[in-house]
Structure 1
Amino acid sequence: MSRTEEGDEESTPDGASQTDAAPPVEFEEGPDNRRGPDELTAVSSREEKADARKIVTGEAKYTADYAREFPDLAAGKVLRSEIAHGVVTELDTSAAEEMDGVYAVITPDSAEVPNDPYTSAGQSYPEPSPYDLRVLRKRVRYVGDPIAAVAAEDVATARAAVQAIEVSYDERDAVLDAEAAIEPDAPRIHDPESVENHQPGADYERNIEAHAEGEIGDVDGAFEAAADRSDLTVVETEWATPHQSHCVGEPHTTIARRDQDDRYHFVTSTQVPYHARRQLARLFDVPIRDIRVTKPRIGGGFGGKQSIVLEPIALALTMAIDRPVKLEATRKEEFHAMRVRRPASITVRSVVTDEGDLEAIDMSVLTNSGAYGSHGLTASGAIGKKQLALYTHTPNIRLEMTAAHTNRPVAGAMRGYGAPQGHFALEGHMDAVARELGMDPLEFRARNVIGEGDLDVASSILKEGDGEIRGGGRRIRSCGLDECIERGKRAIGWGDVEQPDAPHLHRGIGAALTIQSSGVPNDELGAAHIKMNEDGSFILQTGAVDIGTGADTAMAQIAAEILGAPPEDVLVQPSDTDISPFDYGAYASSTTYVTGTAVKKAAQDAREQLFDFAARLLGEPRETLTARDGAVYAERSGESVSLKEIGYESIYGDEERAQVMGEASHSTPESPPPFGAQFADVTVDERTGEFEVHDLVYAIDCGTVINPDLAEGQVTGAMHMSYELAVGSGFSFDDDGQPEVVGFGDYGIPKADTQPPLTPIFVETHEPSGPFGAKAVAEIPTNGVPPALSNAIRDAVGVRIDDLPITAEKIRAALDAE
C-alpha cells in the first residue's frame, strides 16, 4: 500500500543514518504469545465486564460513596475567580468564618497552603509541563481560578460560606484568542520569574508556553522546486478546532484525610494514582511514604482525571481542620474550572506530483493552552507528529508547534491527546489534494500511506517531547490498514452512492485514515503481582487504572489465558499505592499494551511455580505440562490435576509449602500504532445547509482483540465523542471571558435521538510486541469523524467546512460564497 522503503537510507531527525539505527522488522516474541484462534480460551472471548452488574444495579461504589466511611467528614467548597484576569486585592473571610458549622476558611496566605509552583499534569517524572500553578491564587488568570476554600459540616453550609466571602480585584485586560495572545502588545499572562520548569521555546513576554520545530529533508527546497516545475502542485489549507469538554459522568471528587499513622490518605477519582502521590509529596514537602492514594471505581476520565485538580486543595483543608474533607466538583466547575481539550489553528501545505506522490508536507500548529500549561508541549506536539506518521514516506516534512497562554479555561489531556485536532487538518488536507488532482481520495492515500514493514520517522520529528522514539524510528510490524479501507468501503457503499430524488438533496461519502500509539515509548512502566489462593483462584494486583473501560476484565483475561483458569477466577484489585505495584496510570492507550504485558509476564512467573507442584503431583516432567480448563495436564499421560488441588498442595502439602506468587514489570521502547479507516455517509440540503448523517463506519486494526464486547464499547464511545467534536455546539464565552456554557443543557452534546448509527469493524492483525498480539484501541476512534464528515459534505455539495463545529449555517454560507 505504501511507497518502497527507500526511506531506510535517509536520515532521521537527529541526523543519524536509518540503516545504522533502524529497528529490525523481526521481533522476538515468547512462545506463549502467538496462539491461533482455536488455541485461545480466555483471550478474544466476550467475557462480561467485571463490574457491569454492579454499575447497572447501583451497587458500584465511586469516590463520593466512601463518604459514609468517615463519620467526621467535612464538606469542602472552593471560591473561584469571577474575572478572567487580575489580582485579588482584598479577601474578607470574616463573615464566612463566623458562620455556624464552618470549620475553616483557607486563602493563599494560610499556613497550610503551599506557595510553591507546581503542575497539575499527571505525567512521568520529570514532568514535561511548566510549574505555573499555585494551590490558591492571588493572581487570577481565568474565570474559575481558585482563590479560597471552605470546610464546613455540610455542603450547604460550605456553599453559603463561600458566597459570604467578599473579594476585591484589580482587574486587568484579558486576551482570549491564541493568535492575539502571542502579539507583542498583548496583555502578559505570566511573569517568567514566577514559573519554574520552563519548557522548550517558552517566551512569556509573548505568552508562549512552548515552541518546537522539526524537519526531515528540505521542505523549503521542495516548495522552491514546485514554483519552477509544472508537474508539481502546491496545496494549502487552514483548519480550526474548538474547546471540548470531557463530559465525565462522575465529577472530579476527592476525599483527603490523615490516618492513625499520621499519613495522608486520598480516596480520589484519578487516572494517575502514583503520579498524584509523587506530585502531592513534592508540593507539600511530605515524604512519598506518607501519602497513600486509593482509586475506587471511576465514572469516566477521558484524560480529564489525568490532572491533580482538587487533591491539593482537599489536603490543605484537611491539614487546617485535622479531619477528613470531601471536595466534589459541581457540573458548572466541570465545564469551566477543570480541564478541556485545547483549541487549535492548523495550516497545512503540501507539494504533490501529477501522479499523486507527496513530495513535501509543511504543518504549522498554534494551540490555546488557556491560563496554565499542563500538557501544553506534549499534547500540542502530538497534534502534528501523531498523524504525520501516516505519510512518513514523504521525503520532506516539517512541523512547527506553538502553545499559547490565554485567559481561557485550562487545557489538559483529553482522549486522543492532540490527534483529533491534527487528523481533522491533515486528513481534510489529503482529501483536498486528491480532489485538486482529480484522484479518488483513497487511491491518492494508497500511494503515500505507511504499511507493514515500513519505518516511521515522522512520529519523532520533534526532538523535544515526552518519551518520543529516537534513533532509527519506529518499525511497523503489524498494519491492517489495507483491509480496514476495503471493508469500510464495502460497508459504507463507497463508489456506489444513490442520490436522493429531490434535486435540493445531495448525498456524499467521506473517508479519513487514522493512527495512534500504544503507550508512550521509552517512558512508561507497568507492573503486576498475582497470587494463587488454595481453591485455585487468583488475586491480581496492578497499578493500572480502570476508568470505565473494562481494563480490569481484560487484565483478568490475559492472566487467565496463561494460567489456564476461567477469567472469573482471577480477581483484580483496584489501584492503591500502598498495595498495588507501580504503574504510570491510565493514559496514552497504554493499559492493555504495557500493563497487559506485565500481567502476562507475572502470570507466566506464577505458572512456572504451579507447574513445580503439578509435576510432583502427576509424577511427570514439568516441561510436558500445559495449563487449561482449570487444570494442569500432562501431555504424555493425559492425566491432570486441578488448580484447586495444586492450590491446597502448595499451601498445606507435606513435602513442600510455598505460596504461588508471580510478579513482573514491563517497560518498552516500542509503541506499535493501531490503524483505522473512518467513513461517513451524509445527505445535505443545499437550500438550508442542514445535513443528515446516515452512518459512521469505522474499521480498526488494534491487533488481537482481547475482549470484543469491551472493544466495541470503546470504538462506539470514542466515535460518539468524535462526532460531538465535529457537530456539537461546544463552548462559548462573552467578551470578558465569562463562560456561557455551564451544564449539559447548554453544551449541546449529541443525544440518543440525534446520534447517527455507529458501525465498528475489527480487522485483527498480530502485533508481536503486544500481549497475545494486542495493540491499543481506546483513543484512535476519536480521530476520524470530523475529517470524514467534512470530506463527505465536500463530496455532497462541493464546499468544505474547515472550522469546527460543522453546522448548517456554515454550509449554507459556504454555498452562498461560491
Structure 2
Amino acid sequence: MSKPDEAMPDEETTDTAKVEATNPMEWDEAPNNQKSPDERRTVSKREEKDDAKKIVTGEAKYTADYAREFPDLAEAKVVRSDIAHGVVTDIDTSAAEAMDGVYAVVTPDSPEVPDKPYTSAGQSYPEPSPWDLRVLRERVRFVGDPIAAVAAEDKDIASKAARKVDVTYEEYDAVFDTAEAMKPDAPQIHDADDVENRQPGESYERNIEAHMTGEIGDVDAAFAKAEDREDLTVTETEWETPYQSHCVPEPHTTIAHRDEDNRHHLISSTQVPYHTRRQLSHLFDVPIRDIQVSKPRIGAGFGSKQGMLTEPIAMALAEAADRPVRVETTRREEFHALRNRRPARVRLRSVVTEDGDLEALDMEAVTNSGAYGPHGMTVASAVGKKPLPLYTHTPNIRFEATAVHTNLPVAGAFRGYGAPQGHLAVEGHMDEVAHELDLDPVELRSRNVISEGDLDVASGILKDKEYGRRIRSCGLDECIAEGRAAIGWDDIEQPDEGHLHRACGMALTIQSSGVPGDELGAAHIKMNEDGSFILQTGAVDIGPGADTVMAQIAAEVLGARPEDVLVQPSDTDISPFDYGAYASSTTYITGQAVKKAAEEAREMLFEFASRLLDEPESALAVDDGAVVSEATGESVSLEEIGYESMYGDEVRAHVMGDASHCTEESPPPFGAQFVDVTVNEETGEFDVHNMVYAVDCGVALNPDLVEGQIEGALHMSYELATGDGITFDADGQPEVLGFRDYDMPTTGDQPPLTPIIVETHEPTGPFGAKSVAEIPVNGVPPALSNAVRRAVGVRIGDMPITPEKISAALDDD
C-alpha cells in the first residue's frame, strides 16, 4: 500500500534522554492522595450504587419519560434509505402531509433542515473526524441513511405517514468489502470536494478515509537480518473481527422544544452533552447560549451515545412542527442505522530470538468505517497504539492503519475503541510465537512485557514528535500470577474421553485513562445547612455508577457520608463543563476535579470550624460528619458549620468549591485474561468452563462497581469472540433486525466469570485510581482463540470462533 507523504512519521530519531527527562518516575503527589486501606473512610468501600433501587423499581426517569411533561408533544419517525448506494431523485411527501394528525414532514430541502456538512462524532474541538454527514441526505450510502422525517400526533400515525413518503432513487453500484473498496475500479462513495476537515492520508477516489504510519527503530532492517540468521524466527498472522452492536437497553431518544425564553432545549440520552451543544450550534447557526442540553439517566451507552444521532432531526422537526418533538429509535434502527463496532482486518509480523526476545513487530490494520467517518481515524489508530505498548521494549515497531469506507452501516465509538481488534491480533500472535519457539506463552509474555518504571513510547508511535509515557503503576505480574492460579493453569486434567481436549488460554490487556492532553473535567460542590452537599459535574453516568464514585470521592475529602453528597445529572445550563463519558476518563479526570473542588470546600469548613473551636486551621481534620481538633479531640458537626456559615453573626459565606482538571497523563490500567475450555475434536464444539480476569485499575474506589464493570465487559467480549455479529446480504440489506436475530449470549450461554482486583497505587489519579471501564473488553477473543489452539492445535483468527470453523480447520489440518 502506498504511503502518502503527509502520513509519514518524523524522520528524526527519538531523543531518548530528552523523553526520559520530561517523564520522570517521581510525581508531586499530594499527601492526602496516599491513604492506606485502613485510613480510607468512603473510597475503596462497597457502597451501593446510588440509583440501583430506582432502576429496579422503575422509578428512574429516562429521556422518554419526560414526554409526559409536554402535552402537545409530537412523535417522530425517520424515513430511511432502503438501498445501499444511490441518489434520491424525488421525494413525494403529499400523501403523508395530507394525513390527519401529521404536523410536519421534513426533507433535505426543508428550510428547517441545515444543509451543511458536520460530523456526528462527539469528540473535542476541533473534531478529529471528517465532516461528511448531512442531517437528511439526498446521496445515500447505506441501507438506513436518513432521507426524511415525520412529526405526528402519535407513533402509529407517524409510522403510517412515513410509509406514505414516496422516494425515487437512481441506484449506484455498491461495495461492501474493504479490500474491494480500495481497488481503483471500485464505486467511489464520497467526493473529496464534499467533505470538510479531511483526515491525514485520505484518498477518497480509493474510498480511504484516513491512512497513518509510524515507526520506531528500523523494522525492514530487522526483517532483513532475520533472513540470514537461524537464531531469529519470523512469524506472520492475520486476524479479523466483525460488526458488533452496542445492544444498549435504552434506545437513542431526544426530546426537542423551545423553552419559555425561546431557547432550544434538548433532553437527550447523550454521553456528551457539551459536545452536542457545540455541534448543534455549528450546524443550525444558533449561538451556544441559546441551546440547552439536559442529560437524564441513561440506559447504557458503551460509546453508542458518544455521537449526535437523533438530536439534529429532533431539533429540525420541532421547528417545522412548532411544538415539542420526541425522536425515539426502534431496535431495528439501533442494529443497522446508527453506530456499531467497526470490523477490522489486522496483519502482524514479528522477529523473535530463540530465547523469546522480541526484535521487531510490524502491524497493519484495515478498518471498515462504513458509509461515513465518525471516529474513523482515531479508532483505526487505536487498533495499534492501544495494545502495542504491552511490548514497548521491542526495539523495532511499525504500525500502519487505514480507515476505509464501504456501503455498510456507520461505525462509531464502542467500548474499547479499537483495542479489542488490536488485542486479538497482538495477543493471538504472541501465542503463535510461543508455539513456534516451543515456549510457555506466559513466560514469553513475562520476558517482554512492560513493567513499572518503564517508559512507554509505543503508544505514541503515530505522533510526529518525541513521546513517552512513564509507567508509575503496574500490577501485571500479580495479575498474571493470580489469574493463572485462579484458572488452574498448571493443574489442567484431560477428560477421560479421547475426543475431548482441555486447555487454558490467556491474553494480556492494556488501555488508557482518558485521552492525554485532550480532556477537561470540572466540578462544583456546595453545602446545605444540614451538612449535606450538592455536587454538580458535567460528567455523564451512563450506567456503571460514576455518580456513586464521585460522591465517595467528595465524601472522603469532606468527612461526610456518600449518601449525603447528592450528585446532580448533567445539564449544560447548570453543570460545569466536561468532555463527557468516553475514553475511560470519568473517574480519572472528573474524579480529580471533584477531589479538588471538595478540598476547596473543606478549606471553608476549616475556616468556620476554626472560629467555632478556637483552634488553628492547621490542627483540624474531618471525620465522620464533623471537623475535629487533632489537638483536643473536640469537634463541631458539619450541620453546625452549615447553619453557622449561612446564618451566623460574625461571618456569613456559602461553603462551596469549584475546580477543573486536565492533564497530559494517561496511566494505563493492566489486566490478564484467562479462559479454560474443552474442545470436541469430532464436532468442533467447545465448552468454556471459566473466564478469569485479573485487573490492575490502581485503587478500586468501589470494588462492587469494579467487579460489575469486569463482568459486563467480559460478557461483551465473549459475544465478540463467539457471536455472529451484524450480518448483511449481498445487497447490503441487514439480516439482524432485533435481538432474536442477534447472536448475543443469554444468561444460560454465559460461562462462569471470576473477577479479580489487583490493587496498585497510581499517583496521578484520585486516591490512586486509574480507569477500569474498557480494559476488560479486550481479552476474551485472543484468550479463547489461544485456548482452542492449545487444546486441539488449530487457530481460529477470524471472529467469531464457532464449532463449524474449528471442525473445518481440524479437517484441513
TM-score range, shorter chain: over 0.9
Residue 444 (structure 1) aligns with: 444
Residue 93 (structure 2) aligns with: 93
Residue 458 (structure 2) aligns with: 458
Residue 21 (structure 1) aligns with: 19
Q: 1:586 aligns with which of 577, 581, 585?
A: 581
Matched letter for residue 452 of structure 1:
E
**What is the CA–CA distance in structure 1 between the aligned matches of 2:752 and 2:539, rounded to whole Å?**
32
Matched letter for residue 584 of structure 1:
Y
**What is the CA–CA distance in structure 2 between the aligned matches of 1:130 and 1:721, rounded to whole Å?**
29
- Kindly state the Cα deviation for residue 672 of structure 1 after the two structures are TM-superposed: 0.1
TM alignment of 1:619-768, pairs within 5 A: 619-768=614-763
**What is the CA–CA distance in structure 1 between the aligned matches of 2:637 and 2:55, rounded to whole Å?**
33
Residue 376 (structure 1) aligns with: 376
* 8 Å Cα contact 1:106-1:150 kept in structure 2: yes
**What is the CA–CA distance in structure 2 between the aligned matches of 1:18 and 1:342, rounded to whole Å?**
35
Residue 122 (structure 1) aligns with: 122
Deviations 1:324-345 (A, max 9, x none): 0000000000000010000000
Give 3-state SS (helix, strand or coil) of 2:159's partner.
Answer: helix
Give 3-state SS (helix, strand or coil) of 1:304's partner.
Answer: coil
Q: 2:520 aligns with which of 514, 522, 525?
A: 525
* 8 Å Cα contact 2:527-2:656 kept in structure 1: yes
Residue 505 (structure 2) aligns with: 510
- Kindly state the Cα deviation for residue 472 of structure 1 after the two structures are TM-superposed: 3.7
2:800 maps to 1:817: no
Deviations 1:525-562 (A, max 9, x none): 00000000010000000000000010000000000000
Residue 616 (structure 1) aligns with: 611
Residue 339 (structure 1) aligns with: 339
2:48 maps to 1:56: no
Give 3-state SS (helix, strand or coil) of 1:435's partner.
Answer: helix
* 8 Å Cα contact 1:19-1:472 kept in structure 2: no
TM alignment of 1:215-226, pairs within 5 A: 215-226=215-226
**What is the CA–CA distance in structure 2 between the aligned matches of 1:586 and 1:228, rounded to whole Å?**
51
Residue 112 (structure 2) aligns with: 112
- Kindly state the Cα deviation for residue 406 of structure 1 after the two structures are TM-superposed: 0.2
Residue 144 (structure 2) aligns with: 144
* 8 Å Cα contact 1:43-1:707 kept in structure 2: yes
* 8 Å Cα contact 1:13-1:457 kept in structure 2: no
Residue 6 (structure 1) aligns with: none
Give 3-state SS (helix, strand or coil) of 2:486's partner.
Answer: helix
Q: 1:394–1:223: structure 2 CA closer, same or farther, 3 Å change rule? A: same
* 8 Å Cα contact 1:670-1:769 kept in structure 2: yes
* 8 Å Cα contact 2:362-2:397 kept in structure 1: yes
Q: 2:594 aligns with which of 577, 593, 599?
A: 599
* 8 Å Cα contact 1:12-1:472 kept in structure 2: no
TM alignment of 1:148-167, pairs within 5 A: 148-167=148-167
* 8 Å Cα contact 1:527-1:666 kept in structure 2: yes
Matched letter for residue 662 of structure 2:
S
Residue 544 (structure 2) aligns with: 549
* 8 Å Cα contact 2:250-2:298 kept in structure 1: yes
Which segments of 5 or more consecutive residues in structure 1 lack a partner in the other structure? 1-10, 465-469
- Kindly state the Cα deviation for residue 80 of structure 1 after the two structures are TM-superposed: 0.1
Give 3-state SS (helix, strand or coil) of 1:121's partner.
Answer: coil
Give 3-state SS (helix, strand or coil) of 2:105's partner.
Answer: strand
Residue 76 (structure 2) aligns with: 76
- Kindly state the Cα deviation for residue 495 of structure 1 after the two structures are TM-superposed: 2.1
Kindly report the root-mean-square deviation, in angstroms, between the aligned alpha carbons of the 2 structures. 0.9
TM alignment of 1:318-397, pairs within 5 A: 318-397=318-397
Give 3-state SS (helix, strand or coil) of 1:576's partner.
Answer: coil
Matched letter for residue 159 of structure 1:
S
Matched letter for residue 375 of structure 2:
H
Matched letter for residue 41 of structure 2:
T
Matched letter for residue 393 of structure 1:
H
**What is the CA–CA distance in structure 2 between the aligned matches of 1:13 and 1:504, rounded to whole Å?**
55
**What is the CA–CA distance in structure 2 between the aligned matches of 1:768 and 1:164, rounded to whole Å?**
61
Q: 1:614–1:719: structure 2 CA closer, same or farther, 3 Å change rule? A: same
Give 3-state SS (helix, strand or coil) of 1:540's partner.
Answer: strand
> Percent of aligned pairs with the same residue?
72
Matched letter for residue 546 of structure 1:
D
Residue 797 (structure 1) aligns with: 792
Give 3-state SS (helix, strand or coil) of 2:491's partner.
Answer: coil
**What is the CA–CA distance in structure 2 between the aligned matches of 1:171 and 1:691, rounded to whole Å?**
45
Matched letter for residue 761 of structure 1:
I
Give 3-state SS (helix, strand or coil) of 1:745's partner.
Answer: coil
Deviations 1:700-755 (A, max 9, x none): 00000000111111010000000000001211111100000011000010000010
Residue 5 (structure 1) aligns with: none
* 8 Å Cα contact 1:691-1:808 kept in structure 2: yes
Deviations 1:174-209 (A, max 9, x none): 100011101111000001111000000010000000
**What is the CA–CA distance in structure 2 between the aligned matches of 1:27 and 1:471, rounded to whole Å?**
20
2:311 maps to 1:316: no
- Kindly state the Cα deviation for residue 250 of structure 1 after the two structures are TM-superposed: 0.1
**What is the CA–CA distance in structure 1 between the aligned matches of 2:456 and 2:322, rounded to whole Å?**
54
Matched letter for residue 313 of structure 1:
I
**What is the CA–CA distance in structure 1 between the aligned matches of 2:277 and 2:431, rounded to whole Å?**
46
**What is the CA–CA distance in structure 1 between the aligned matches of 2:10 and 2:610, rounded to whole Å?**
52
Q: 1:581–1:654: structure 2 CA closer, same or farther, 3 Å change rule? A: same
Residue 534 (structure 1) aligns with: 529
Matched letter for residue 646 of structure 2:
I
Q: 1:49–1:14: structure 2 CA closer, same or farther, 3 Å change rule? A: farther
Residue 180 (structure 1) aligns with: 180
Residue 246 (structure 1) aligns with: 246
Residue 5 (structure 2) aligns with: none
Residue 38 (structure 1) aligns with: 38
TM alignment of 1:552-567, pairs within 5 A: 552-567=547-562
Deviations 1:239-287 (A, max 9, x none): 0000000000000000000111111000000000000000000000000
* 8 Å Cα contact 2:244-2:720 kept in structure 1: yes
- Tell me the TM-score normalized by structure 1: 0.98
Q: 1:788 aligns with which of 780, 783, 790?
A: 783
Give 3-state SS (helix, strand or coil) of 1:712's partner.
Answer: helix
Matched letter for residue 754 of structure 2:
T
* 8 Å Cα contact 1:13-1:216 kept in structure 2: no
**What is the CA–CA distance in structure 1 between the aligned matches of 2:106 and 2:430, rounded to whole Å?**
54
**What is the CA–CA distance in structure 2 between the aligned matches of 1:125 and 1:724, rounded to whole Å?**
34
Give 3-state SS (helix, strand or coil) of 1:298's partner.
Answer: coil
**What is the CA–CA distance in structure 2 between the aligned matches of 1:433 and 1:671, rounded to whole Å?**
30
- The number of equivalent residue pairs is 803
Deviations 1:3-43 (A, max 9, x none): xxxxxxxx998634121133000111111100011100000
Give 3-state SS (helix, strand or coil) of 2:783's partner.
Answer: helix
Matched letter for residue 627 of structure 1:
V
Deviations 1:106-153 (A, max 9, x none): 000000111100000000000000000000000000000000000001
**What is the CA–CA distance in structure 2 between the aligned matches of 1:590 and 1:779, rounded to whole Å?**
10
**What is the CA–CA distance in structure 2 between the aligned matches of 1:378 and 1:707, rounded to whole Å?**
31
**What is the CA–CA distance in structure 2 between the aligned matches of 1:20 and 1:245, rounded to whole Å?**
44
Residue 467 (structure 1) aligns with: none
* 8 Å Cα contact 2:117-2:133 kept in structure 1: yes
- Tell me the TM-score normalized by structure 2: 0.98
- Kindly state the Cα deviation for residue 321 of structure 1 after the two structures are TM-superposed: 1.5
* 8 Å Cα contact 2:697-2:772 kept in structure 1: yes
Q: 1:13–1:292: structure 2 CA closer, same or farther, 3 Å change rule? A: farther
TM alignment of 1:465-504, pairs within 5 A: 471-504=466-499
**Large movers: runs of 4+ above 3 Å:** 11-16
**What is the CA–CA distance in structure 2 between the aligned matches of 1:742 and 1:32, rounded to whole Å?**
52
Give 3-state SS (helix, strand or coil) of 2:37's partner.
Answer: coil
Matched letter for residue 389 of structure 2:
A
Give 3-state SS (helix, strand or coil) of 1:506's partner.
Answer: strand
